[in-house]
C-alpha cells in the first residue's frame, strides 16, 4: 500500500489542541500518516507544555508522497522561525497539495500572498491586514466564519480546531462530507447525545478505518 503523508509544521509555542483532532483522524486511516517537522528539526514545546520531538526539519521541497501541509497556530508565526515554512507551502500551492492553516498561521499565509484570491478566514481581519501588510490584498475574500474550505485550502480561527479537522478531512478526501459531519457531531456533542454516530465511528476504527 502506498502511504500518503500529511506534514504538520510545528513552531515553538504551538497550540497543541489545534493539532490533535486532525492528527488523530489522519493516523487512523489505512495508508495515511502524520509527519511532524520543525524549522531546524529540534524539539518544540507546546502552549500546553508538551515537548514534541519532530521527525525532521521543515523541508524546502515536499516529498512525493505528501498529500497535505498543515500549519498549526501558536505564538511564533510572527517570528523569524516562521520563514522556514514558506518554501514548502509555496511548493504545496504550486502542486495542488492541500494546505491547512489555523489561528495565527493564517496571518503567515496572508503575509506570503496566498490568501489574495481564495475565500478564507482567520482570527480577525484587521489584524491579518495589519501584519500581512503589502503581501495581503484579499480582504474581499475574507469570511467571518469559524472555518472556510475553498478547494484545497482550509483556514480556521483559533477556536475552531474541531471544525478545522472536519474540513481538512474532506479536503484530503479522508472522508466524505457526510461522514466528516458525523465525526464532528460525535466529538462536539458527545456519546450520550450522538450514540449512533459513536457506534458508527468506533466500529469504523475497529475495522481498520473503513465505513
Q: Give the three-class secondary structure for 102.
A: strand
The span from the CA of 40 to the CA of 30, in Å, is 29
Cβ atoms 39, 11 nearer than 8 A? yes
Give the DSSP letter of residue 41: S
Q: Angle CA(93)–CA(157)–CA(86) in degrees, nearest 5? A: 30
Kindly name the residue from 19, 71, 85, 103 that is annotated as catalytic: 103
Q: Which residues 6+ apart lie within 8 Å of 178 measured at CB?
A: none
Judge whether 66 counts as a catalytic residue: no
Cβ atoms 92, 66 nearer than 8 A? yes
190-204 burial, b at 16+ Cβ within 10 Å, e below that, comes to eeeebeebbebbeeb
Catalytic residues: 103
Amino acid at each position: 500500500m502506498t502511504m500518503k503523508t500529511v506534514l504538520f509544521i510545528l513552531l515553538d509555542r504551538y497550540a497543541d489542541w489545534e493539532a490533535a483532532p486532525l492528527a488523530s483522524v489522519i493516523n487512523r486511516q489505512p495508508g495515511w500518516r502524520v509527519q511532524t517537522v520543525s524549522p531546524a528539526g529540534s524539539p518544540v514545546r507546546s502552549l500546553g507544555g508538551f515537548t514534541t520531538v519532530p521527525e525532521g526539519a521543515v523541508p524546502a521541497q515536499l516529498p512525493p508522497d505528501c498529500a497535505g501541509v498543515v500549519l498549526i497556530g501558536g505564538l511564533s508565526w510572527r517570528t523569524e522561525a516562521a520563514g522556514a515554512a514558506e518554501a514548502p507551502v509555496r511548493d504545496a500551492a504550486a502542486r495542488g497539495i492541500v494546505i491547512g492553516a489555523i489561528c495565527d498561521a493564517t496571518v503567515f499565509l496572508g503575509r506570503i500572498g496566498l490568501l489574495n484570491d481564495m475565500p478564507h478566514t482567520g482570527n480577525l481581519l484587521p489584524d491579518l491586514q495589519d501584519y500581512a501588510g503589502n503581501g495581503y490584498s484579499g480582504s474581499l475574500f475574507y469570511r467571518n466564519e469559524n472555518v472556510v474550505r475553498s478547494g484545497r485550502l482550509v483556514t480556521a480561527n483559533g477556536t475552531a480546531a474541531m471544525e478545522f479537522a472536519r474540513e481538512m478531512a474532506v479536503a484530503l478526501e479522508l472522508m466524505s462530507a457526510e461522514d466528516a459531519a458525523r465525526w464532528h457531531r460525535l466529538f462536539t456533542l458527545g456519546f450520550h447525545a450522538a450514540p449512533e454516530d459513536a457506534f458508527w465511528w468506533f466500529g469504523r476504527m475497529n475495522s481498520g478505518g473503513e465505513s
